[in-house]
């Protein structure tokens, strides 16, 4: 009888510990996915601004890359704004 009680107590403790470890692992993966997608999103926004500005300047045949600079700065500012807004959303 004593052995079965100790075994039940150990099983309860072990299952509780496993649930905590699974939750920590799931939280880690969720935060990894969140920040990875945020970095990819920022990269796509910035690359889109730079490439768009480059092609506008190329089509207008200007000597100075005005649209490349303007759209680059605008896309960086937009990416930072979206990142901060997303990080503060919690």
Average pLDDT, the chain: 83
Tokens 């099983």, residue located: 11
The pLDDT assigned to 24 comes to 65
| pLDDT-based confidence at residue 16 (cuts at 50, 70, 90) | low
Task: State the Cα–Cα distance between residues 72 and 48, nearest whole angstrom.
Answer: 9
The pLDDT assigned to 28 comes to 73
pLDDT tens profile 18-62: 556 666 666 777 888 888 999 999 999 999 999 999 999 999 998
Phi–psi pair at 64, nearest 5 degrees: -105, 130
The pLDDT assigned to 64 comes to 93
């Amino acid at each position: 009888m004593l052995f079965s009680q100790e075994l039940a107590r150990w099983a309860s403790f072990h299952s509780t510990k496993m649930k905590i470890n699974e939750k920590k692992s799931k939280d880690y993966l969720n935060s990894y996915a969140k920040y990875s997608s945020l970095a990819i999103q920022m990269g796509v926004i910035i690359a889109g601004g730079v490439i768009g500005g480059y092609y506008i300047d190329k089509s207008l045949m200007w000597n100075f890359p005005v649209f490349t600079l303007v759209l680059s700065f605008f896309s960086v500012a937009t990416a930072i704004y979206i990142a901060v807004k997303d990080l503060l959303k919690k």
